[in-house]
Structure 1
Amino acid sequence: MKDTVTPTGHLAEQIERQDWKALADELDELGNALTGLLLTPGECREIADLYDREEYFRTTVDMARHRFGSGQYRYFTHDLPEVIAQLRAAFYPKLLPVARDWAGKLGRPAPWPDDLATWVEMCHEAGQARSAQILLRYGPGDWNALHRDVFGEMLFPLQVVIGLDAPGTDFTGGEFIMTEQRPRAQSRGSSTTVPQGHGLIFTTRDRPVALKRGWSNGPMRHGVSMVRTGRRRTLGLVFHDAA
Protein backbone atom coordinates (compact mmCIF):
# COMPACT_ATOMS: atom_id res chain seq x y z
CA MET A 1 0.00 0.00 0.00
CA LYS A 2 1.24 3.49 -0.86
CA ASP A 3 -0.89 5.47 1.62
CA THR A 4 2.16 5.79 3.91
CA VAL A 5 4.03 7.79 1.25
CA THR A 6 5.54 11.12 2.28
CA PRO A 7 4.97 13.82 -0.35
CA THR A 8 8.30 14.97 -1.78
CA GLY A 9 9.73 16.29 -5.05
CA HIS A 10 8.27 18.56 -7.67
CA LEU A 11 4.68 17.28 -7.39
CA ALA A 12 4.58 18.23 -3.72
CA GLU A 13 6.12 21.59 -4.63
CA GLN A 14 3.51 22.23 -7.32
CA ILE A 15 0.71 21.59 -4.84
CA GLU A 16 2.44 23.59 -2.09
CA ARG A 17 2.76 26.69 -4.29
CA GLN A 18 -0.95 26.89 -5.09
CA ASP A 19 -2.85 29.85 -3.62
CA TRP A 20 -4.58 27.84 -0.89
CA LYS A 21 -6.29 30.84 0.68
CA ALA A 22 -7.97 31.69 -2.62
CA LEU A 23 -8.83 28.04 -3.25
CA ALA A 24 -10.40 27.69 0.21
CA ASP A 25 -12.43 30.88 -0.32
CA GLU A 26 -13.72 29.57 -3.65
CA LEU A 27 -14.61 26.21 -2.12
CA ASP A 28 -16.56 28.04 0.58
CA GLU A 29 -18.39 30.11 -2.02
CA LEU A 30 -19.02 27.56 -4.78
CA GLY A 31 -18.17 24.08 -3.52
CA ASN A 32 -15.45 23.70 -6.17
CA ALA A 33 -12.19 25.43 -7.10
CA LEU A 34 -9.79 25.10 -10.03
CA THR A 35 -6.08 24.82 -9.23
CA GLY A 36 -3.19 26.05 -11.31
CA LEU A 37 -0.92 23.73 -13.26
CA LEU A 38 0.04 20.52 -11.42
CA LEU A 39 1.26 18.12 -14.13
CA THR A 40 3.15 18.52 -17.39
CA PRO A 41 1.64 17.12 -20.62
CA GLY A 42 4.16 14.29 -20.42
CA GLU A 43 3.09 13.40 -16.88
CA CYS A 44 -0.55 13.53 -17.97
CA ARG A 45 0.14 11.08 -20.81
CA GLU A 46 2.05 8.80 -18.43
CA ILE A 47 -0.97 8.57 -16.13
CA ALA A 48 -3.51 8.27 -18.96
CA ASP A 49 -1.53 5.44 -20.58
CA LEU A 50 -1.88 3.38 -17.40
CA TYR A 51 -5.48 2.70 -18.40
CA ASP A 52 -4.51 -0.29 -20.56
CA ARG A 53 -2.25 -1.88 -17.93
CA GLU A 54 -4.47 -4.41 -16.16
CA GLU A 55 -2.13 -4.94 -13.23
CA TYR A 56 -2.85 -1.49 -11.78
CA PHE A 57 -6.62 -1.92 -11.44
CA ARG A 58 -9.01 -3.89 -9.26
CA THR A 59 -12.15 -3.44 -11.37
CA THR A 60 -13.55 -1.79 -14.51
CA VAL A 61 -16.99 -0.16 -14.68
CA ASP A 62 -19.03 0.29 -17.85
CA MET A 63 -21.22 3.28 -17.06
CA ALA A 64 -23.97 2.50 -19.58
CA ARG A 65 -24.45 -0.98 -18.11
CA HIS A 66 -25.13 0.50 -14.69
CA ARG A 67 -27.07 3.50 -16.04
CA PHE A 68 -24.42 5.88 -14.68
CA GLY A 69 -24.09 7.57 -18.07
CA SER A 70 -21.82 6.43 -20.90
CA GLY A 71 -18.09 5.76 -20.85
CA GLN A 72 -15.79 3.67 -18.71
CA TYR A 73 -13.66 3.98 -15.61
CA ARG A 74 -11.26 1.79 -13.65
CA TYR A 75 -10.48 1.66 -9.93
CA PHE A 76 -6.82 1.36 -9.00
CA THR A 77 -5.58 -1.25 -6.55
CA HIS A 78 -3.91 -0.01 -3.36
CA ASP A 79 -0.53 -0.47 -5.07
CA LEU A 80 -0.75 2.99 -6.62
CA PRO A 81 1.78 4.29 -9.16
CA GLU A 82 4.16 6.66 -7.40
CA VAL A 83 2.92 9.80 -9.18
CA ILE A 84 -0.67 9.14 -8.02
CA ALA A 85 0.37 8.25 -4.48
CA GLN A 86 2.40 11.47 -4.32
CA LEU A 87 -0.49 13.62 -5.55
CA ARG A 88 -2.92 12.14 -3.07
CA ALA A 89 -0.53 12.45 -0.13
CA ALA A 90 0.30 16.07 -1.00
CA PHE A 91 -3.32 17.17 -1.40
CA TYR A 92 -4.65 15.66 1.85
CA PRO A 93 -3.02 18.06 4.37
CA LYS A 94 -3.96 21.06 2.22
CA LEU A 95 -7.64 20.05 2.12
CA LEU A 96 -7.81 19.05 5.77
CA PRO A 97 -8.32 22.60 7.18
CA VAL A 98 -11.30 23.13 4.84
CA ALA A 99 -12.78 19.76 5.82
CA ARG A 100 -12.48 20.55 9.53
CA ASP A 101 -13.86 24.06 9.09
CA TRP A 102 -16.89 22.74 7.21
CA ALA A 103 -17.54 20.07 9.85
CA GLY A 104 -17.47 22.72 12.56
CA LYS A 105 -19.92 24.96 10.73
CA LEU A 106 -22.34 22.07 10.20
CA GLY A 107 -21.97 20.70 13.72
CA ARG A 108 -20.59 17.39 12.49
CA PRO A 109 -17.73 15.22 13.75
CA ALA A 110 -14.30 15.87 12.21
CA PRO A 111 -12.66 12.43 12.53
CA TRP A 112 -9.79 13.10 10.12
CA PRO A 113 -6.29 12.81 11.62
CA ASP A 114 -3.34 14.86 10.44
CA ASP A 115 -1.90 12.10 8.24
CA LEU A 116 -3.55 10.25 5.39
CA ALA A 117 -2.23 6.81 6.37
CA THR A 118 -3.97 6.90 9.74
CA TRP A 119 -7.23 8.03 8.14
CA VAL A 120 -7.08 5.23 5.56
CA GLU A 121 -6.45 2.73 8.37
CA MET A 122 -9.56 4.05 10.12
CA CYS A 123 -11.54 3.51 6.92
CA HIS A 124 -10.33 -0.09 6.73
CA GLU A 125 -11.19 -0.77 10.36
CA ALA A 126 -14.72 0.44 9.59
CA GLY A 127 -15.05 -2.01 6.68
CA GLN A 128 -14.10 0.38 3.87
CA ALA A 129 -11.02 -1.35 2.49
CA ARG A 130 -11.21 -0.97 -1.30
CA SER A 131 -9.21 1.66 -3.15
CA ALA A 132 -11.34 4.46 -4.60
CA GLN A 133 -8.69 6.10 -6.81
CA ILE A 134 -10.07 6.20 -10.31
CA LEU A 135 -9.05 6.68 -13.94
CA LEU A 136 -11.88 7.71 -16.26
CA ARG A 137 -12.11 7.55 -20.05
CA TYR A 138 -14.80 9.16 -22.24
CA GLY A 139 -15.25 9.14 -26.01
CA PRO A 140 -17.70 10.90 -28.36
CA GLY A 141 -21.22 10.79 -26.91
CA ASP A 142 -20.06 9.73 -23.43
CA TRP A 143 -21.16 11.51 -20.25
CA ASN A 144 -21.41 11.00 -16.50
CA ALA A 145 -24.70 11.31 -14.61
CA LEU A 146 -24.94 13.59 -11.59
CA HIS A 147 -23.93 11.70 -8.46
CA ARG A 148 -22.00 11.75 -5.17
CA ASP A 149 -18.99 9.53 -4.30
CA VAL A 150 -19.81 8.59 -0.72
CA PHE A 151 -18.78 4.87 -0.58
CA GLY A 152 -19.61 4.42 3.14
CA GLU A 153 -19.91 6.09 6.53
CA MET A 154 -16.24 7.12 6.63
CA LEU A 155 -16.27 10.15 4.38
CA PHE A 156 -13.81 12.88 3.46
CA PRO A 157 -15.79 15.89 2.16
CA LEU A 158 -13.47 16.93 -0.69
CA GLN A 159 -11.90 15.23 -3.68
CA VAL A 160 -9.89 16.20 -6.76
CA VAL A 161 -10.19 15.49 -10.48
CA ILE A 162 -7.17 16.18 -12.72
CA GLY A 163 -7.51 16.71 -16.46
CA LEU A 164 -5.21 14.47 -18.52
CA ASP A 165 -6.18 15.65 -22.02
CA ALA A 166 -6.34 19.16 -23.50
CA PRO A 167 -9.83 20.67 -23.99
CA GLY A 168 -10.38 22.04 -27.48
CA THR A 169 -7.46 20.01 -28.84
CA ASP A 170 -7.91 16.43 -27.68
CA PHE A 171 -11.67 16.69 -27.12
CA THR A 172 -14.63 19.08 -27.14
CA GLY A 173 -17.52 19.13 -24.69
CA GLY A 174 -16.98 17.15 -21.50
CA GLU A 175 -17.33 20.00 -19.02
CA PHE A 176 -17.34 19.14 -15.33
CA ILE A 177 -20.80 20.03 -14.01
CA MET A 178 -22.13 20.52 -10.49
CA THR A 179 -25.57 21.22 -9.09
CA GLU A 180 -26.32 22.60 -5.65
CA GLN A 181 -29.66 22.21 -3.89
CA ARG A 182 -30.10 25.58 -2.18
CA PRO A 183 -32.19 26.00 0.98
CA ARG A 184 -35.78 26.94 0.07
CA ALA A 185 -34.77 27.86 -3.50
CA GLN A 186 -34.23 26.39 -6.96
CA SER A 187 -31.06 24.39 -7.56
CA ARG A 188 -28.00 26.16 -8.96
CA GLY A 189 -25.72 24.66 -11.61
CA SER A 190 -22.16 25.36 -12.71
CA SER A 191 -19.80 24.02 -15.36
CA THR A 192 -16.00 24.03 -15.46
CA THR A 193 -13.57 23.18 -18.24
CA VAL A 194 -10.62 21.45 -16.55
CA PRO A 195 -7.39 22.25 -18.45
CA GLN A 196 -4.80 19.55 -19.01
CA GLY A 197 -2.63 19.10 -15.94
CA HIS A 198 -4.88 21.22 -13.70
CA GLY A 199 -7.01 19.95 -10.83
CA LEU A 200 -10.56 20.73 -9.80
CA ILE A 201 -11.22 20.39 -6.08
CA PHE A 202 -14.88 19.77 -5.29
CA THR A 203 -17.18 18.66 -2.53
CA THR A 204 -17.99 14.97 -2.19
CA ARG A 205 -21.46 15.45 -0.72
CA ASP A 206 -22.38 18.95 0.47
CA ARG A 207 -20.96 22.23 1.76
CA PRO A 208 -21.96 24.70 4.50
CA VAL A 209 -24.21 27.55 3.34
CA ALA A 210 -24.56 30.67 5.49
CA LEU A 211 -28.08 31.56 6.60
CA LYS A 212 -29.28 34.45 8.75
CA ARG A 213 -29.27 32.21 11.82
CA GLY A 214 -26.31 29.96 11.29
CA TRP A 215 -25.31 27.36 8.73
CA SER A 216 -27.17 24.87 6.57
CA ASN A 217 -25.83 22.06 4.40
CA GLY A 218 -26.04 22.57 0.64
CA PRO A 219 -26.29 19.12 -1.02
CA MET A 220 -24.23 18.95 -4.23
CA ARG A 221 -23.84 16.48 -7.07
CA HIS A 222 -21.29 16.32 -9.86
CA GLY A 223 -21.04 14.81 -13.32
CA VAL A 224 -19.65 15.37 -16.83
CA SER A 225 -21.48 16.84 -19.82
CA MET A 226 -21.48 14.95 -23.11
CA VAL A 227 -18.17 14.70 -24.92
CA ARG A 228 -18.76 15.90 -28.47
CA THR A 229 -15.50 14.88 -30.14
CA GLY A 230 -12.23 13.20 -29.21
CA ARG A 231 -11.19 11.47 -26.01
CA ARG A 232 -11.34 12.88 -22.47
CA ARG A 233 -9.40 11.16 -19.68
CA THR A 234 -9.19 12.25 -16.04
CA LEU A 235 -7.68 11.09 -12.78
CA GLY A 236 -9.89 11.08 -9.67
CA LEU A 237 -8.31 11.38 -6.22
CA VAL A 238 -10.61 10.31 -3.39
CA PHE A 239 -9.52 10.57 0.25
CA HIS A 240 -11.62 7.78 1.72
CA ASP A 241 -11.74 4.13 0.70
CA ALA A 242 -14.81 2.20 -0.41
CA ALA A 243 -16.87 -0.44 1.35
Structure 2
Amino acid sequence: MTPTTLPASRASERVGAGDWQRIADELNEYGSALTPRILNPAECRAIAALYDDEERFRSTVDMARHRFGSGQYRYFAHPLPDLVRELREAFYPRLLPIARDWAGKLRRPAPWPDTLEEWLGMCHDAGQSRSAQILLRYGPGDWNALHRDVFGDAVFPLQVVIGLDAPGTDYSGGEFLMVEQRPRAQSRGSSTTLPQGHGLVFTTRDRQVRSARGWSAGPMRHGVSTVRSGRRRTLGLVFHDAA
Protein backbone atom coordinates (compact mmCIF):
# COMPACT_ATOMS: atom_id res chain seq x y z
CA MET A 1 0.00 0.00 0.00
CA THR A 2 1.49 3.35 -1.06
CA PRO A 3 1.21 6.45 1.13
CA THR A 4 -1.36 7.89 -1.30
CA THR A 5 -3.69 4.93 -0.78
CA LEU A 6 -5.99 4.59 2.20
CA PRO A 7 -8.59 1.81 2.55
CA ALA A 8 -12.03 3.27 2.03
CA SER A 9 -13.11 1.97 5.44
CA ARG A 10 -10.31 3.91 7.17
CA ALA A 11 -11.06 7.08 5.24
CA SER A 12 -14.70 6.78 6.28
CA GLU A 13 -13.69 6.12 9.91
CA ARG A 14 -11.39 9.15 10.07
CA VAL A 15 -13.93 11.49 8.56
CA GLY A 16 -16.74 9.99 10.62
CA ALA A 17 -14.78 10.46 13.86
CA GLY A 18 -15.51 14.18 13.75
CA ASP A 19 -18.22 15.74 15.88
CA TRP A 20 -20.56 16.34 12.99
CA GLN A 21 -23.19 18.09 15.09
CA ARG A 22 -20.57 20.66 16.09
CA ILE A 23 -19.38 20.94 12.49
CA ALA A 24 -22.96 21.48 11.28
CA ASP A 25 -23.59 24.07 14.01
CA GLU A 26 -20.44 26.04 13.07
CA LEU A 27 -21.27 25.86 9.38
CA ASN A 28 -24.73 27.21 10.16
CA GLU A 29 -23.28 30.06 12.21
CA TYR A 30 -20.08 30.96 10.36
CA GLY A 31 -20.06 29.15 7.00
CA SER A 32 -16.95 27.09 7.90
CA ALA A 33 -15.82 24.50 10.46
CA LEU A 34 -12.61 22.60 11.19
CA THR A 35 -12.53 18.80 11.28
CA PRO A 36 -10.22 16.65 13.41
CA ARG A 37 -7.01 15.37 11.83
CA ILE A 38 -7.85 13.42 8.68
CA LEU A 39 -4.34 12.75 7.31
CA ASN A 40 -1.09 12.02 9.10
CA PRO A 41 2.10 13.94 8.17
CA ALA A 42 3.40 11.18 5.87
CA GLU A 43 0.13 11.16 3.93
CA CYS A 44 0.19 14.95 3.69
CA ARG A 45 3.73 14.88 2.28
CA ALA A 46 2.81 12.13 -0.20
CA ILE A 47 -0.12 14.11 -1.58
CA ALA A 48 1.90 17.34 -1.72
CA ALA A 49 4.66 15.51 -3.62
CA LEU A 50 2.19 14.67 -6.40
CA TYR A 51 2.40 18.29 -7.53
CA ASP A 52 5.55 17.59 -9.54
CA ASP A 53 3.97 14.65 -11.41
CA GLU A 54 2.45 16.61 -14.29
CA GLU A 55 0.71 13.57 -15.79
CA ARG A 56 -1.69 13.48 -12.82
CA PHE A 57 -3.12 16.91 -13.67
CA ARG A 58 -5.30 18.28 -16.46
CA SER A 59 -4.23 21.92 -16.13
CA THR A 60 -2.06 24.38 -14.19
CA VAL A 61 -3.18 27.88 -13.22
CA ASP A 62 -0.78 30.75 -12.53
CA MET A 63 -2.85 32.98 -10.27
CA ALA A 64 -0.90 36.17 -10.97
CA ARG A 65 -1.38 35.76 -14.71
CA HIS A 66 -5.15 35.63 -14.28
CA ARG A 67 -5.19 38.25 -11.50
CA PHE A 68 -6.52 35.68 -9.03
CA GLY A 69 -3.77 36.53 -6.54
CA SER A 70 -0.27 35.03 -6.53
CA GLY A 71 0.78 31.38 -6.45
CA GLN A 72 -0.13 28.33 -8.47
CA TYR A 73 -2.58 25.46 -8.42
CA ARG A 74 -3.26 22.36 -10.48
CA TYR A 75 -6.48 20.51 -11.25
CA PHE A 76 -6.19 16.74 -10.94
CA ALA A 77 -7.07 14.69 -14.00
CA HIS A 78 -9.29 11.63 -13.93
CA PRO A 79 -8.76 9.07 -12.54
CA LEU A 80 -8.07 10.75 -9.23
CA PRO A 81 -5.33 9.46 -6.90
CA ASP A 82 -6.84 6.82 -4.63
CA LEU A 83 -6.57 8.86 -1.45
CA VAL A 84 -8.19 11.92 -3.02
CA ARG A 85 -11.05 9.80 -4.34
CA GLU A 86 -11.51 7.98 -1.01
CA LEU A 87 -11.60 11.20 0.99
CA ARG A 88 -14.15 12.72 -1.35
CA GLU A 89 -16.36 9.64 -1.06
CA ALA A 90 -16.01 9.66 2.74
CA PHE A 91 -16.98 13.32 3.14
CA TYR A 92 -19.98 13.34 0.81
CA PRO A 93 -22.47 11.42 3.03
CA ARG A 94 -21.49 13.56 6.03
CA LEU A 95 -22.05 16.80 4.13
CA LEU A 96 -25.22 15.69 2.37
CA PRO A 97 -27.65 16.16 5.32
CA ILE A 98 -26.31 19.68 5.88
CA ALA A 99 -26.69 20.52 2.19
CA ARG A 100 -30.27 19.24 2.16
CA ASP A 101 -31.10 21.14 5.35
CA TRP A 102 -29.83 24.40 3.87
CA ALA A 103 -31.73 23.83 0.63
CA GLY A 104 -34.94 23.22 2.55
CA LYS A 105 -34.57 26.39 4.61
CA LEU A 106 -33.77 28.45 1.52
CA ARG A 107 -36.59 26.84 -0.50
CA ARG A 108 -34.15 25.68 -3.13
CA PRO A 109 -34.03 22.38 -5.03
CA ALA A 110 -31.95 19.64 -3.38
CA PRO A 111 -30.92 17.52 -6.38
CA TRP A 112 -28.17 15.59 -4.61
CA PRO A 113 -28.76 11.82 -4.44
CA ASP A 114 -27.59 9.53 -1.65
CA THR A 115 -24.26 8.62 -3.27
CA LEU A 116 -21.45 10.69 -4.75
CA GLU A 117 -21.31 8.37 -7.76
CA GLU A 118 -24.92 9.17 -8.66
CA TRP A 119 -24.38 12.90 -8.17
CA LEU A 120 -21.26 12.94 -10.36
CA GLY A 121 -23.24 11.09 -13.02
CA MET A 122 -25.77 13.93 -12.93
CA CYS A 123 -22.92 16.46 -13.24
CA HIS A 124 -21.57 14.62 -16.27
CA ASP A 125 -25.02 14.48 -17.86
CA ALA A 126 -25.15 18.26 -17.42
CA GLY A 127 -21.87 18.67 -19.30
CA GLN A 128 -19.64 18.92 -16.21
CA SER A 129 -17.17 16.04 -16.51
CA ARG A 130 -13.76 17.57 -15.76
CA SER A 131 -12.16 17.12 -12.35
CA ALA A 132 -12.39 20.13 -10.02
CA GLN A 133 -10.08 18.63 -7.35
CA ILE A 134 -7.23 21.04 -6.69
CA LEU A 135 -3.69 20.92 -5.33
CA LEU A 136 -2.54 24.42 -4.39
CA ARG A 137 0.99 25.69 -3.74
CA TYR A 138 1.93 29.05 -2.22
CA GLY A 139 5.35 30.55 -1.47
CA PRO A 140 6.44 33.78 0.26
CA GLY A 141 4.29 36.72 -0.89
CA ASP A 142 1.60 34.50 -2.47
CA TRP A 143 -2.10 34.88 -1.73
CA ASN A 144 -5.51 33.96 -3.13
CA ALA A 145 -8.18 36.53 -3.95
CA LEU A 146 -11.69 36.14 -2.58
CA HIS A 147 -13.74 33.92 -4.89
CA ARG A 148 -16.24 31.08 -5.21
CA ASP A 149 -15.63 27.63 -6.77
CA VAL A 150 -18.69 27.30 -9.01
CA PHE A 151 -17.93 25.48 -12.25
CA GLY A 152 -21.36 25.12 -13.84
CA ASP A 153 -25.07 24.88 -13.05
CA ALA A 154 -24.66 21.65 -11.05
CA VAL A 155 -23.28 22.81 -7.69
CA PHE A 156 -22.79 21.12 -4.32
CA PRO A 157 -22.99 23.80 -1.62
CA LEU A 158 -20.10 22.63 0.60
CA GLN A 159 -16.45 21.81 0.01
CA VAL A 160 -13.33 20.88 1.98
CA VAL A 161 -9.72 22.07 2.06
CA ILE A 162 -7.06 19.97 3.83
CA GLY A 163 -3.79 21.48 5.06
CA LEU A 164 -0.69 19.61 3.86
CA ASP A 165 1.95 21.69 5.68
CA ALA A 166 2.29 22.74 9.32
CA PRO A 167 1.60 26.43 10.08
CA GLY A 168 4.26 28.02 12.25
CA THR A 169 6.78 25.37 11.18
CA ASP A 170 6.59 25.06 7.40
CA TYR A 171 5.16 28.52 6.74
CA SER A 172 3.79 31.67 8.36
CA GLY A 173 0.80 33.74 7.32
CA GLY A 174 -1.49 32.09 4.78
CA GLU A 175 -4.66 32.06 6.88
CA PHE A 176 -7.85 30.83 5.23
CA LEU A 177 -10.21 33.79 4.79
CA MET A 178 -13.98 34.02 4.49
CA VAL A 179 -16.05 37.15 3.92
CA GLU A 180 -19.82 37.23 4.26
CA GLN A 181 -21.85 39.91 2.54
CA ARG A 182 -24.67 40.89 4.88
CA PRO A 183 -27.80 42.76 3.73
CA ARG A 184 -27.92 46.41 4.78
CA ALA A 185 -24.74 45.94 6.87
CA GLN A 186 -20.96 45.85 6.56
CA SER A 187 -19.39 42.60 5.36
CA ARG A 188 -18.16 40.20 8.05
CA GLY A 189 -14.77 38.49 7.73
CA SER A 190 -13.11 35.57 9.49
CA SER A 191 -9.72 33.85 9.32
CA THR A 192 -8.73 30.27 10.16
CA THR A 193 -5.27 28.78 10.60
CA LEU A 194 -5.43 25.37 8.93
CA PRO A 195 -3.54 22.69 10.92
CA GLN A 196 -1.63 20.05 8.97
CA GLY A 197 -3.84 17.08 8.12
CA HIS A 198 -7.04 18.75 9.29
CA GLY A 199 -9.89 19.68 6.98
CA LEU A 200 -11.90 22.86 6.84
CA VAL A 201 -15.45 22.42 5.60
CA PHE A 202 -16.84 25.63 4.11
CA THR A 203 -19.64 26.92 1.96
CA THR A 204 -19.18 27.02 -1.79
CA ARG A 205 -21.17 30.22 -2.34
CA ASP A 206 -23.51 31.14 0.57
CA ARG A 207 -24.95 29.96 3.87
CA GLN A 208 -28.46 29.98 5.29
CA VAL A 209 -29.14 33.00 7.53
CA ARG A 210 -32.18 33.48 9.75
CA SER A 211 -34.14 36.58 8.79
CA ALA A 212 -37.36 38.31 9.76
CA ARG A 213 -39.16 36.38 7.02
CA GLY A 214 -37.60 33.01 7.78
CA TRP A 215 -34.34 32.23 6.03
CA SER A 216 -32.25 34.00 3.42
CA ALA A 217 -28.94 33.30 1.66
CA GLY A 218 -25.82 35.04 2.94
CA PRO A 219 -23.34 35.28 0.04
CA MET A 220 -19.80 34.25 1.00
CA ARG A 221 -16.40 34.18 -0.68
CA HIS A 222 -13.15 32.59 0.41
CA GLY A 223 -9.44 33.20 -0.15
CA VAL A 224 -6.00 32.98 1.47
CA SER A 225 -4.05 35.76 3.19
CA THR A 226 -0.47 36.52 2.16
CA VAL A 227 2.07 33.82 2.99
CA ARG A 228 4.88 35.57 4.85
CA SER A 229 7.47 32.78 4.76
CA GLY A 230 7.89 29.14 3.78
CA ARG A 231 5.64 27.00 1.61
CA ARG A 232 1.91 26.36 2.09
CA ARG A 233 0.22 23.51 0.19
CA THR A 234 -3.38 22.37 0.42
CA LEU A 235 -5.74 19.84 -1.13
CA GLY A 236 -9.13 21.12 -2.26
CA LEU A 237 -12.06 18.69 -2.42
CA VAL A 238 -14.98 19.92 -4.51
CA PHE A 239 -18.10 17.77 -4.75
CA HIS A 240 -19.15 18.73 -8.25
CA ASP A 241 -17.16 18.39 -11.45
CA ALA A 242 -16.37 21.23 -13.85
CA ALA A 243 -17.73 22.10 -17.28
Q: TM-score range by the shorter chain?
A: over 0.9
Match of residue 29 from structure 2: 29
Q: Which amino acid aligns with 2:56?
A: Y
Residue 10 of structure 1 and its aligned partner are, at CA, apart by 2.0
Find the aligned partners of 1:135 and 1:24 in 2 and give their Cα distance: 25
Following TM superposition, the consecutive aligned residue runs of length 4 or more in structure 1 with deviations greater than 3 angstroms are none
Match of residue 3 from structure 1: none
Find the aligned partners of 1:125 and 1:213 in 2 and give their Cα distance: 36
Find the aligned partners of 1:159 and 1:195 in 2 and give their Cα distance: 17
Matches within 5 A, 1:35-46: 35-46=35-46
Match of residue 191 from structure 1: 191
Find the aligned partners of 1:39 and 1:10 in 2 and give their Cα distance: 11
Contact 1:160 1:237 in 2 (8 A): yes
Match of residue 147 from structure 1: 147
Match of residue 200 from structure 1: 200
Match of residue 91 from structure 2: 91
Residue 212 of structure 1 and its aligned partner are, at CA, apart by 2.1
Find the aligned partners of 1:92 and 1:206 in 2 and give their Cα distance: 18
Describe the superposition over 1:131-188 as per-residue Cα deviations: whole angstroms up to 9, x where unpaired.
0000000000000000000111000000000000000000000000000011221100
Identity %: 75
Q: Which amino acid aligns with 1:236?
A: G
Runs of 5+ consecutive residues of structure 1 not aligned to the other structure: 1-6
Per mean C-alpha deviation after superposition, the further-off stretch among 220-229 and 7-16 is 7-16
Find the aligned partners of 1:34 and 1:153 in 2 and give their Cα distance: 27
Per mean C-alpha deviation after superposition, the further-off stretch among 7-16 and 76-85 is 7-16
SS in structure 2 at match of 1:101:
helix
Find the aligned partners of 1:10 and 1:131 in 2 and give their Cα distance: 24
Contact 1:11 1:39 in 2 (8 A): no
SS in structure 2 at match of 1:199:
strand
Aligned residues: 238
Match of residue 81 from structure 1: 81
Find the aligned partners of 1:81 and 1:129 in 2 and give their Cα distance: 17
Q: Which amino acid aligns with 2:238?
A: V
Q: Which amino acid aligns with 2:210?
A: A
State yes or no: 1:118 paired with 2:118.
Answer: yes
Describe the superposition over 1:3-45 as per-residue Cα deviations: whole angstroms up to 9, x where unpaired.
xxxx723222110111001100000000000011110000000
Find the aligned partners of 2:216 and 2:124 in 1 and give their Cα distance: 30
Describe the superposition over 1:67-114 as per-residue Cα deviations: whole angstroms up to 9, x where unpaired.
000000000012111111110000000000000000001110000000
Q: Which amino acid aligns with 1:99?
A: A
Match of residue 61 from structure 2: 61
Match of residue 128 from structure 1: 128
Runs of 5+ consecutive residues of structure 2 not aligned to the other structure: 1-6
Q: Which amino acid aligns with 2:79?
A: D
Q: Which amino acid aligns with 2:40?
A: T
**TM-score normalised to the size of structure 2?**
0.96
